[in-house]
Amino acid sequence: MKHIISIDISPCHANKIGPQHGFTDIEFKELTKSIKQYHNVLIKEREEKKYGFFELYKDKATHNKIKEISSKFLGQGIENLVILGIGGSALGITALNTALNGTYYNLLSKEDRKGYPRLFVMDNIDPVTFKRMMKLCPPQNTLYNAISKSGETAETMCQLLIVLQELENTVGSEKIKEHLVITTSPRGENAPKSLLHPIADKYGITQLEIPLNVGGRFSVFSPVGLFPSAMLGFDIEALIEGCAEMDTLCSNDSLENNPAYKFAGIHYILDINKGKKISVMMPYSDRLKDIADWYCQLWAESLGKKEDIKGNNIFNGQTPVKALGATDQHSQIQLYREGPNDKIINLISVENQNEVLLVPDILNEISELEYIRGQSMNDLLLAEFQGTKDALTLSQRPVIHINMKEISEFTVAQLLYMLEVATAMAGKLYNVNAFNQPGVEEGKKIARQLMLEIKKNKV
Amino acid sequence: MKHIISIDISPCHANKIGPQHGFTDIEFKELTKSIKQYHNVLIKEREEKKYGFFELYKDKATHNKIKEISSKFLGQGIENLVILGIGGSALGITALNTALNGTYYNLLSKEDRKGYPRLFVMDNIDPVTFKRMMKLCPPQNTLYNAISKSGETAETMCQLLIVLQELENTVGSEKIKEHLVITTSPRGENAPKSLLHPIADKYGITQLEIPLNVGGRFSVFSPVGLFPSAMLGFDIEALIEGCAEMDTLCSNDSLENNPAYKFAGIHYILDINKGKKISVMMPYSDRLKDIADWYCQLWAESLGKKEDIKGNNIFNGQTPVKALGATDQHSQIQLYREGPNDKIINLISVENQNEVLLVPDILNEISELEYIRGQSMNDLLLAEFQGTKDALTLSQRPVIHINMKEISEFTVAQLLYMLEVATAMAGKLYNVNAFNQPGVEEGKKIARQLMLEIKKNKV
């Protein structure tokens, strides 16, 4: 039995939280029809290769190339893996790393890291952070992975120029290829050029390809996420199996039985009919907190659109919010329970943590500690989850409960793949193009113009 | 000239983004009157010692005690400082540490840390994280600081029992006091009991006091935040001066000249009159990212209230969202520009970073890189900030721009103190009690009950 993620939407039903905030049977029935219809559209577009993310897990040639290249670099004594990338180029591997390597991974000894490198994801252009990373990672035992589909991402290219210079000065021009891998769009007559192509050519750098029909936020199972995963020793086959398993689970057109469509459908109906404009993602596990961050990009950038596909102004989009249980019970739950009833709260529980931590049976003289003494931290975390879930229901707040039996390559891939399919379906329901991001261009243009003016004024 | 934080609300004016989304002169004038009136109420309540956070920076006796105790522990070769605390007991020191020690601080060598300990903030009950912390921090050179006002915080007490047992087993019962400091409510006949008092007594543990009129989310300048700050070598005097400076700046009743009232007033008026239900805090500096997190608790827990002070149901509260520039331009800006116009976006820029990182003038053959080549990463970050700010204005999205000349104890304390005063004023404007959190009790009760049932079933 491999179905080890389940998703429970019953706490969003009107019979739990009332028809003003929960979905009714009639709404569910109507939604079922829309889902069936859009499922067929998605299937057709998928067959037309409109979206590549669905099929990434099937690309054995790429997986083999990734395994081969990563083995080569791991054999060269790489101690630090540094990702130069932002947005979709950074969030996927950060999510996977936190989930599978846990908090404080970089502080572990090499032995406790099983010989795999530390990971530094440079997803910003903060000079203080970047200088510190360079201090911590001597180029001699560092592998950089520059990721940008177009090679036009200002932040990544700025980082790359600095790193190239540093490599020239330390290992020397000839050996740059032993310390840098480029992940960008494919070569080919019909493919758009990437500014990273001439750089790869100049230094003979290994290049990995992001399929043209895969956008940044859907790229975690492309080489963008899989090459660093292999470098960190993650089980690529198990990641792939997780995707395959979830693809099978999501292949039916039934709102009731398709986890991705459940997630998308309930978000849509509660947004449109009940004014839930905010989608909170709150896992009860430190290891899942960066998956919440990854989700925030996926949901925001895919569905936050001014126009529908016909060009009508709609200013669509739920605002995703990341939270962490139990931590944010002491920060956000006051608002979630007593503030405006404008949120869907996605709670993720994990049944089996990898470790059990017992609370010793001491300080018997303090009777108020009876409920934790001699129990486990694991039990307390699950009880807090349950308490929060029930308290939210008492306040008529809609909760979607995602349960994972454990955290592993297999389950994490399932969760990510499910959320990607959910996002594609949500795009259909909202009638927007979930695969572009026209709103980010203006700021880039202004920044570029400013930089040119600064340069002119310097001369 | 010490005023090195400025706050610009002009991008929220109707003449920039239209009267549907921005405030008008008439609204500003009315708001000015309310602010004057509530200023007098706050002053009066402050004199009555209703809120302690205003005066924390004046408590020299406590500051001296903190300095003395921290010197003693630092002299004992402490290498790791571990905070056992959640919510307000964790967010303040995390914000200060990231701001003043920067990203990857724990990875630095002891020399680069100037001999100060690493910091681990245990703000969750994740067994995997906690076990890893215990592995990384041998009790022999670790100081734990357990923080809970009542000693009834389940998460913190669960952690403390585990740590006490570990200390018993390693350094032994007698030496527990050399590895543990307790921060809790004061002793005294009129003070409520804390469960931490008998524990402090049993082992002779040093105790620091949280004044009764200071709540968790307003406690960063109490021993909750200041003792760990001293242990990390932060300049306590400069933190205090920052508070004092901001207190002076916030002592006038003018909407125009009081930075805290500007922040509170504009948030209030744009929420109530223009439907901006979400407050985004987006600093352009990695070092400020956990201040955004701290703000999220402050704003959410203080203003997210079901009832106004007269007991009428109002379900009040903006939802705070943390973001990070430039990173989240590639994640959230699409939504902020093209999604529902339901947000105020607070952008924080930093004029002088501590480091300058030059982009080398290489790869001249790629003309598209002209705008970054030979410039600095610092310039690019500021240009991206400006580009985002202007692009948001073009989309008629209200922006509050907070500018900091630099990041230091002095400026960071100013920023935090300003946001605390703003929250107190916002409570007045919204007519809610900003200093309680009734909505978090229910979940705690259920969790406690569940834990007792688990225990019963085990027996």
pLDDT at A418 (0 to 100): 98
Please tell me whether residue A215 adopts helix, strand or coil conformation.
coil
Q: Do A377 and B340 touch (CB under 8 A)?
A: no
Mean pLDDT check: name the lowest of A216-225, A420-429, B25-34, B187-196.
Answer: B187-196
Determine what percent of chain A is predicted with pLDDT higher than 70. Answer: 99
Question: Per the structure block, which two tokens stand in for A64?
Answer: 């083999």
Helix H or strand E segment including A263 = helix A259-274
Q: How far is CA A40 from CA A218, A262, B220, in A?
A: 21, 16, 55
Q: Do A285 and B126 touch (CB under 8 A)?
A: yes
Neighbour count for residue B147 (Cβ, 10 Å):
33
Q: Is residue A444 among the annotated active site residues?
A: yes
Neighbour count for residue A425 (Cβ, 10 Å):
28
Dist. CA B159–CA B125, nearest whole Å? 7
pLDDT at A107 (0 to 100): 98
| A439 vs B164, B216, B333: nearest CB | B333
Kindly indicate whether the domain formed by A53-234 is annotated with CATH number 3.40.50.10490: yes
Neighbour count for residue B109 (Cβ, 10 Å):
8
Chain position carrying tokens 């529908």: A308
pLDDT at A404 (0 to 100): 97
Q: Do B297 and A394 touch (CB under 8 A)?
A: no
Closest chain B C-alpha to A443 CA, distance in angstroms: 4
**Residue type for B335, please?**
L
ipTM of the predicted assembly exceeds 0.95: yes
Closest chain B C-alpha to A43 CA, distance in angstroms: 27
Could you state, in order of their start, the residue ranges of all structural domains in chain A? Answer: 5-47+239-439, 53-234
Sign, CA dihedral B444-B446-B447-B448, equals positive
Q: Do A103 and B87 touch (CB under 8 A)?
A: no
Chain position carrying tokens 């290498």: B79
Question: Per the structure block, which two tokens stand in for A202?
Answer: 């100049």
Residue numbers of A between 1 and 60 with CB closer than 8 Å to B: none
Give the fold, CATH level 3, of B5-47+239-439: Rossmann fold (3.40.50)
Summarised one tens digit per residue, pLDDT across range A280-337 is: 999 999 999 999 999 999 999 999 999 999 999 999 999 999 999 999 999 999 999 9
Question: Per the structure block, which two tokens stand in for A68?
Answer: 């081969």
Residue numbers of B between 236 and 255 with CB closer than 8 Å to A: none
Chain position carrying tokens 């300048």: B221
Phi-psi region of A218 (alpha: psi -120 to 50; beta: other; left: phi over 0): alpha
Mean pLDDT within A205-231: 97
**First-residue to last-residue Cα distance in chain B:** 68
**Residue type for A5, please?**
I
Neighbour count for residue A20 (Cβ, 10 Å):
11
Q: How far is CA A75 from CA A71, A141, B168, B277, in A?
A: 6, 11, 44, 53
Measured CA angle at B16 (ends B11, B19), to 5 deg: 110
Q: Does B380 touch chain A (CB under 8 A)?
A: yes
Closest chain B C-alpha to A347 CA, distance in angstroms: 14
Mean pLDDT of chain A: 96
Chain position carrying tokens 């109530």: B272
Residue A2 has pLDDT above 80, yes or no: no
Cβ-based neighbours of B375, under 8 Å, separated by 6 or more? A451, A454, A455, B358, B359
**Residue in chain A lying closest to B337 (CA):** A439
Q: Which residues pair with A347 in a beta bridge?
A: A282, A401
Q: Does B170 touch chain A (CB under 8 A)?
A: no
The 10 Å CB-count burial string (b at 16+, else e) for B387-413 is bbbbbbbebebbbbbbebeebbbbbbb
Q: Do A128 and B353 touch (CB under 8 A)?
A: yes
Dist. CA A329–CA A381, nearest whole Å? 11
pLDDT at B192 (0 to 100): 85
Q: Does B376 touch chain A (CB under 8 A)?
A: yes
Question: Per the structure block, which two tokens stand in for A399?
Answer: 């909760």
Q: Does B115 touch chain A (CB under 8 A)?
A: no
Query: What secondary structure does DSSP assign to A412-440, as a single string?
Result: HHHHHHHHHHHHHHHHHHHTS-TT--GGG
Question: Per the structure block, which two tokens stand in for A371?
Answer: 């409920």
Q: Which residues pair with A280 in a beta bridge?
A: A321, A345
- Decide if A338 contacts B438 (C-beta within 8 A): yes
Q: Do A342 and B356 touch (CB under 8 A)?
A: no
Please tell me whether residue B436 adopts helix, strand or coil conformation.
coil
Neighbour count for residue A152 (Cβ, 10 Å):
16
Q: How far is CA A29 from CA A6, A7, A425, B297, B435, in A?
A: 21, 19, 17, 39, 45
Question: Per the structure block, which two tokens stand in for A233?
Answer: 């020793």
Q: What does pTM read for this prediction? A: 0.98
pLDDT at B189 (0 to 100): 81
Closest chain A C-alpha to B161 CA, distance in angstroms: 6
Residue A418 DSSP class: H
pLDDT at A192 (0 to 100): 85
Neighbour count for residue A442 (Cβ, 10 Å):
18
**Residue in chain B lying closest to A122 (CA):** B327
Q: Does B61 touch chain A (CB under 8 A)?
A: no
Q: Do B123 and A327 touch (CB under 8 A)?
A: yes
Q: Is residue B444 among the annotated active site residues?
A: yes
Q: How confident is the model at residue A154 (pLDDT cuts 50, 70, 90)?
A: very high
Chain position carrying tokens 């000249």: B257
- Decide if A89 contacts A148 (C-beta within 8 A): yes
Summarised one tens digit per residue, pLDDT across range A78-108 is: 999 999 999 999 999 999 999 999 999 999 9
Chain position carrying tokens 């990607």: A420
Residues of chain B with pLDDT under 50: 1
Residue B363 DSSP class: -
Question: Per the structure block, which two tokens stand in for B160?
Answer: 């403390």
Mean pLDDT within A182-189: 94
**Residue type for B373, please?**
R
Helices (H) and strands (E) in chain A, counts: 15, 10
pLDDT at B2 (0 to 100): 59
Residue A1 has pLDDT above 50, yes or no: no
Dist. CA A355–CA A357, nearest whole Å? 6
Helix H or strand E segment including A166 = helix A154-170
Mean pLDDT within A357-378: 96
- Decide if B344 contacts B278 (C-beta within 8 A): yes
